[in-house]
Structure 1
Amino acid sequence: MTPEELSSAIRAALVAAVDAGDLTADLPDVVRVERPKNRDHGDWSTNIALQLAKRAGMPPRDLATALASRLADVDGIAKVDVAGPGFLNITLDAASAGELARTIVESGTAYGTNDAEAGHVINLEYISANPTGPLHIGHTRWAALGDAMGRLLRASGAELTTEYYLNDAGTQMDNFARSVLARAKGEPTPEGGYPGEYVDTLATAVLEQRPDLLELPEGEALAVARDAAYPLQLKDIRDTLEAFGVTFDTWFSEKTLHDSGAVEQAVARLREQGHVFDDGGAVWLRTTDFTDDKDRVLIRKDGEPTYFAADAAYYLSKKDRGFDEKIYLLGADHHGYINRLKAIAAAAGDDPGHNIEVRIGQLVNLNGAKLSKRAGNIIELRDLIDWIGTDAIRYSLARYPADSPLSLDGEELRKQTNDNPVFYVQYAHARTANVARLAAEDGVRREDGFDPSLLADPTEATLLATLGDFPRVVAQAARLREPHRVARYLEDLAGRYHKWYDTCRVRPMNADEEVTDLHRTRLWLNDATRQVLANGLDLLGVSAPERM
């Protein structure tokens, strides 16, 4: 019996009680069940009697007792206990609990998906590093967490678009062009420019495209350097992210906002809303009306729009493209942006508590990492991939909340020991694959038999209970935007699988032992665990190796 089936059974019992006149109350569409903290209290627990008692005009324990008597007759339920003020603790019979193994195997990659976020239309923006240099360790945390968050939201039914915002307009692009042109001329990096061997590489490539670069007037040469080097650097960013397992649905250019007039239109729209005012020759947005600490300039005295004006236009673009919810994942130095962005949302007529969500990722310190030879003054993501590997980096970053500073040891992440969480989980998956291979050699085949009532060992009950909890963990991780919940779940599942492996045999002891339904049914459980480990790792963007 799956959690969904149990929830339906409890609701059916409530409906029967209402029909019989034993209960008068408006019933919820879904009855929530959860795992008790203490496994001695049963397989599942619900507080539905506490929720309905006031509306029903009954003491919670009386309502729970009446409900327990009805549930006791449901096929698959072995025992129902009333605990505390009115909790219901439910124990499934072995056959009902064991049936979950077949459900998981037959569901395959769909197991764990849910509709908790169905109806949510979300734009998820993350990383959004300036396209003026390589990605570095400061971008790596959101690369891992943002991608995992997107996978979780999709697995939970959200209509999601992931987006990378390219800051390809403004002073940083001018400095980028000046840096490339200086290196093409053999000159040192200009003040405020970008150092590093990658600029030399870009300069060489630009000269190959435009051999006449150095003969052009300064202004034209700068424009050529920028326009030729920018797509090359953007390709480097894309290639690095793809090597890290991260792709985006949309790459959105800030420059298009300026070129299309969207920035000026955004200021006009906000003025119509009554939140824009003129003062001292500049144009301002009255963000103090929306909890910001001071009002913000949109257009400077010289007529040039600020970055904030582009931010406003970008927010309105998301709104106009039909995204009801906009999630921004920002770096540790962007705390000041939270109130500003929420003020833009409010000024645009949106609800800052619903239409916009801003999350800050704290810094990561990676012991043993070396500065990039190519970029000079940063720890480059490309080098981290080569040194540690995508799986180890992504998993290690995913297993901690984004809002806590993090210190990791690079050499520890490279070790293939059980002290390394990613190895521990991946090894569990590889072990399930090895068990399946060896079982096949011994003639143990799932299709020849399945008797879930045989899964009666305590380690099997515990393993099944953990497997059954996976959809809830996925839904909760998506709702809270916390991929680390999946990582910690996988580590718990791996531990429970290893204990089961040490206790229960899938294969016959020797060639003389007959293959029975017990072996075959345990193979179903082994393969169900394999599927859940693979599904969970995939949600984190981590591979599930067959051999290690």
Structure 2
Amino acid sequence: MTPADLSLTVLHAVRRAVGDGALRVDVPPVVKVERARPGGSGEYASNIALTLARAAGRSALDVAGILEERLRDAPGLRGVEITGPGFLNFSLRRDAGAELVRAVREAGAGYGSGTALAGTVVRFAEPAEPRASLVTRTVVRLLRAQGADAGFGGTERIHVRAGEYREDTLGTDAARWALLRPAPQDRPLDGPPLLVQHERNPLFRVRYAHSRVRRLLANGEQLRVTPAYETDIDAPALLGALGDHPVVLLAAARHRAPDRVARHLEATADALLAFQHTVLPLGDEKPSAAHRSRLALAEAAGTVLAGGLSVLGISAPDRI
């Protein structure tokens, strides 16, 4: 179950509660689900009960209890717990990794796209400043990927500080990263360090992580290890990063913030690079279901990295 799936599951529980008269509220268009904070319960959490409490004329704990009853047997959920003043905390089934990898494989580069913003119309004025134009066009792609009707011709503007768009000296990929990685109100990154192939260069790490996945798949083929998620893999950082990808894309669209995508790609790349050494058999070790599952997880990570870079207009080379 992905965060997007979980959000829809909770939304359906709200609709059921309203439909059977347990809650008297307007059904929200979307339910926000986020990673549980350190020390919290389960993998994900939602404050939907606190959001609906006032309109329902009930305490958040009462609302949470009503929703919890309708979530107990939801597919993909191992458990639902109410914490604090009324937060819903969710534990996913142990086969959630298989569902996640399957979702990425089926969606391909479109993993994370959706219809959450369907019916939303956004029109931007065409910016004259190069960085503002790049940011705006990237935001339009993000909005459209979430179902919004986005384009140019209106008055909404994205304000960014002027900066040199030095594609002629940096190349397209480094120039785009330099302008999109900082928040729009911050200064562009210094360009020359982005051309250095070193782990201190975040753009290099992201693109290198993708190339490592391609190499793992090629090496796996030579060893007759094919990607297939057959057994649970203990890789919480990487699974969490892949699961969060749809949430990050939606948040980046809503907040007009492509930098969120770039930061998430860095986190995904770091998790993949820490995980890569366990993927294929070493020495005389025989291929097993664990190796096939790890390779499938790595393949999914490569898909997410390539898709995220594509959203930013940056290439994902097979070799670096």
Question: Retained in 2: the 8 A contact 1:36–1:45?
Answer: yes
Question: What residue identity is the alignment partner of 1:45?
Answer: A
Q: Which residue of 2 aligns with 1:144?
A: 134
1-structure distance, mates of 2:236, 2:20 = 35
Question: What residue identity is the alignment partner of 1:363?
Answer: A
Question: What residue identity is the alignment partner of 1:159?
Answer: D
2-structure distance, mates of 1:412, 1:91 = 42
Q: Which residue of 1 aligns with 2:214?
A: 433
Q: How far did residue 116 of structure 1 move?
A: 3.6
Q: How far did residue 31 of structure 1 move?
A: 2.8
2-structure distance, mates of 1:423, 1:405 = 20
User: 1:94 is paired with a residue of what secondary structure?
Assistant: coil
Are 2:280 and 1:507 aligned?
yes
Are 2:244 and 1:469 aligned?
yes
Count residues in correspondence: 320
Q: Which residue of 2 aligns with 1:396?
A: 178
Q: How far did residue 63 of structure 1 move?
A: 2.9
Q: Which residue of 1 aligns with 2:44?
A: 44
User: 1:364 is paired with a residue of what secondary structure?
Assistant: coil
Question: What residue identity is the alignment partner of 2:229?
Answer: F
Deviates more, 1:59-68 or 1:437-446: 59-68
User: 1:469 is paired with a residue of what secondary structure?
Assistant: helix
Are 2:302 and 1:519 aligned?
no
Deviations along 1:178-225, one digit per CA (max 9) or x if unpaired, are: xxxxxxxxxxxxxxxxxxxxxxxxxxxxxxxxxxxxxxxxxxxxxxxx
Q: Which residue of 1 aligns with 2:192?
A: 411
Question: Retained in 2: the 8 A contact 1:429–1:545?
Answer: yes
Q: How far did residue 437 of structure 1 move?
A: 1.1
Q: Which runs of 5+ in 1 are unaligned?
A: 129-138, 163-317, 319-325, 327-355, 366-380
2-structure distance, mates of 1:156, 1:55 = 28
Question: Retained in 1: the 8 A contact 2:132–2:159?
Answer: no
What's the TM-score once normalised by structure 2's chain length? 0.88
Aligned pairs for 1:237-252 within 5 A: none
Question: Retained in 2: the 8 A contact 1:45–1:88?
Answer: yes
Aligned pairs for 1:38-117 within 5 A: 38=38, 40-117=40-117
In structure 2, do the counterparts of structure 1 residues 52 and 444 end up closer, same or farther at CA, with 3 Å as the change threshold?
same
Q: Which residue of 2 aligns with 1:361?
A: 160
Aligned pairs for 1:305-324 within 5 A: 318=153
User: 2:157 is paired with a residue of what secondary structure?
Assistant: strand
1-structure distance, mates of 2:79, 2:25 = 25
Instruction: Give me the CA root mean square deviation.
Output: 2.6
Question: Retained in 2: the 8 A contact 1:486–1:536?
Answer: yes
Question: Retained in 2: the 8 A contact 1:439–1:506?
Answer: no
Q: Which runs of 5+ in 2 are unaligned?
A: none
2-structure distance, mates of 1:398, 1:476 = 15
Question: What residue identity is the alignment partner of 1:44?
Answer: Y
Question: What residue identity is the alignment partner of 1:83?
Answer: T
Q: How far did residue 143 of structure 1 move?
A: 4.5
Q: Which residue of 1 aligns with 2:309?
A: 537
Q: Where in structure 1 do 4 or more consecutive aligned residues deviate above 6 Å?
A: none
Q: Which residue of 2 aligns with 1:454?
A: 232
Question: Retained in 2: the 8 A contact 1:122–1:158?
Answer: yes
Question: What residue identity is the alignment partner of 1:360?
Answer: H
Identity, % of aligned positions: 38
Question: Retained in 2: the 8 A contact 1:33–1:45?
Answer: yes
Question: What residue identity is the alignment partner of 1:470?
Answer: H
2-structure distance, mates of 1:419, 1:106 = 33
Q: Which residue of 2 aligns with 1:495?
A: 270
